[in-house]
């Protein structure tokens, strides 16, 4: 790849479908490549595509919204410093979505929100505990877990117990959305019931959130 260029899969405008900025208009910048292969990955096209090479100015010129979500794949595998600086200097509020295996403190000054998504057992992958702790030391972080089954749920409980005050109010749980709408509704109900029955999660202000884009558009790409 040419130095200073990014491998971009897609740039599109939509409402943010998940997490604490849910419903807010965003421009999404999806970068190519990932170091993991989660079983339930809903963006496999970003892993398999090598993307289109673009310079920072070209990407910034495609941004129409005040909020920008830099996502993947795993965006931090590419040299995103110039992109994040350019977006921040143009007054955009930048969310970086990352899978909790990569950390670069040099990016912090350009990031409005880190959306960190450590992978639980059902994914077939994992995360780096030191990386998670480093993110948890920040205030502008949300930690999103996809919870598919009881084993995943118990893992979340043990993480919340382990990190205590560091994770309070920062954890968002969501079910796997690769299913029909009726099944998704059932999974959301299951997860809400599990959280409300867990004193640890209730006292840590853990939230269950849906993925708005899945309810509206299913698993369609570019929305």
The two tokens of residue 181 are 């709408």
CB nearer to ligand SF4: give 18 or 74.
74
Q: Which of residues 4-23 bind ligand SF4 (CB under 6 A)?
A: none
Q: Is the dihedral of CA 187, 188, 193, 198 positive or negative?
A: positive
Burial 126-138 (b: 16+ CB within 10 A, else e): ebeeebbeebbee
Q: Does 34 bind ligand SF4 (CB under 6 A)?
A: yes
Q: Does 74 bind ligand SF4 (CB under 6 A)?
A: yes
CB nearer to ligand SF4: give 60 or 147.
147
Q: Quick check: 59 and 83 in contact, CB under 8 A?
A: yes
Place of tokens 């995943």: 152
CB nearer to ligand SF4: give 189 or 222.
222
The CA-CA-CA angle for residues 156, 160, 162, to 5°, reads 115
Residue 14: in which H helix or E strand, if any?
Answer: strand 5-15
Q: Does 86 bind ligand SF4 (CB under 6 A)?
A: no
Place of tokens 């670069």: 104
**Contact window for ligand SF4 (CB under 6 A) among 70-78, 163-171, 184-192, 206-214:** 70-78
**Residues 93-112 as x/- pattern, contact with ligand SF4 by CB under 6 A:** ------x-------------
Q: Does 116 bind ligand SF4 (CB under 6 A)?
A: no
Residues near ligand SF4, by CB under 6 A: 34, 36-38, 41, 43, 47, 72-74, 99
């Amino acid at each position: 790849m040419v130095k200073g260029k990014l491998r971009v899969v897609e740039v599109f405008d939509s409402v943010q479908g998940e997490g604490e900025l849910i419903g807010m208009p965003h421009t999404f910048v999806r970068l190519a490549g990932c170091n993991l292969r989660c079983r339930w990955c809903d963006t496999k096209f970003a892993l398999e595509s090598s993307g289109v090479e673009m310079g920072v100015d070209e990407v910034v010129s495609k941004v129409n919204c005040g909020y920008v979500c830099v996502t993947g794949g795993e965006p931090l595998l590419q040299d995103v410093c110039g992109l994040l600086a350019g977006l921040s200097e143009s007054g955009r509020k930048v969310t970086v979505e990352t899978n909790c295996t990569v950390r670069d403190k040099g990016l912090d000054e350009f990031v409005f929100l880190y959306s960190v998504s450590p992978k639980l057992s059902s994914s077939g992958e994992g995360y780096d505990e030191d990386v998670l702790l480093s993110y948890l030391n920040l205030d502008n972080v949300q930690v999103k877990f996809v919870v598919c089954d009881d084993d995943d749920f118990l893992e979340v409980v043990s993480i919340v117990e382990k990190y205590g005050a560091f994770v309070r109010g920062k954890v968002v749980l969501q079910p796997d959305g690769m299913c029909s709408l009726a099944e998704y509704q059932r999974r959301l109900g299951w997860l809400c019931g599990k959280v409300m029955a867990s004193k640890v999660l209730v006292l840590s202000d853990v939230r269950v959130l849906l993925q708005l884009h899945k309810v509206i558009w299913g698993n369609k790409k570019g929305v």
